[in-house]
Amino acid sequence: MKRAVYAGSFDPVTNGHLWMIEQGYELFDEMIVAIGVNPEKRSTFSVADREAMLRECTSHLPKLKVESFENQFLVNYARTMGANYILRGIRTASDYEFERTMRYVNADLVPSIDTIFLMPPREIAEVSSTMIKGLVGPEGWEGILKQYVPGPVYRRFMNLYGS
C-alpha cells in the first residue's frame, strides 16, 4: 500500500494546495493531509478552522484524511502514520533548493520514507498562503483573492474581513 503525507501550515488553503492534494490522491492508495502546527508562528486561522476548511475543500475525496501534528519532524510524523512517502510541491528554484536539502535530511532520519516532488501548473505556481494574506485590504482585494483560493476559504476571508 502506498500511503503519503502532504503537510503544510495551510493558513489558508490555496488552489495550489488543493491541486497538490488532488494529484496526490490520484497517485497514492492513501493520502493524509497534515497541518503542521508551529506555536512560534502567528496564524490567521486556528488549527480547527484550517482542518474544517481542508475537509470542506476536499469533501469530494472521500478517502482523504485530514490531521494535524505538532512538535515533531515531518518525517517522524509520517513514520508514525505508516506513510511510505512525503509529498512536496516545488514552485520556485528556492523551493527546490530547500526541499532537496530536506529530502536528504529526511532520508538520513528515516530511510524507508521517500519524498515525491510535484510542480504545479504555471497559473497557480506562485500562489502561497503568505501571498494570499498579503492581498487582503486594498480596494478590490475580494475579486483578486477569489481567483486563488477555494470557495470555503474565500467565504471565511469574507466573514473575517469583508465589508
**Per-residue cell: 119:** 510542480
3-state helix, strand, coil in the chain (%, to 5): 45, 20, 35
- Which residues of the chain form beta strands (DSSP E)? 3-8, 30-37, 65-70, 85-89, 114-118
Amino acid 163: pLDDT = 62
Cell of 37: 502546527
Residue 112 sits at φ, ψ, to 5 deg, of -80, -5
Please give the domain boundaries of the chain with CATH numbers for all domains: 3-161 (3.40.50.620)
Instruction: Answer whether 0.85 is exceeded by the pTM.
Output: yes
pLDDT of residue 29: 97
Give strand pairing partners of 89: 118
Cell of 60: 469530494
- Nearest by Cα to 136 from 121, 122, 120, 149: 149
| Ranges under pLDDT 70 in the chain | 163
Question: What integer pLDDT is reported at residue 126 of this predicted model?
Answer: 84
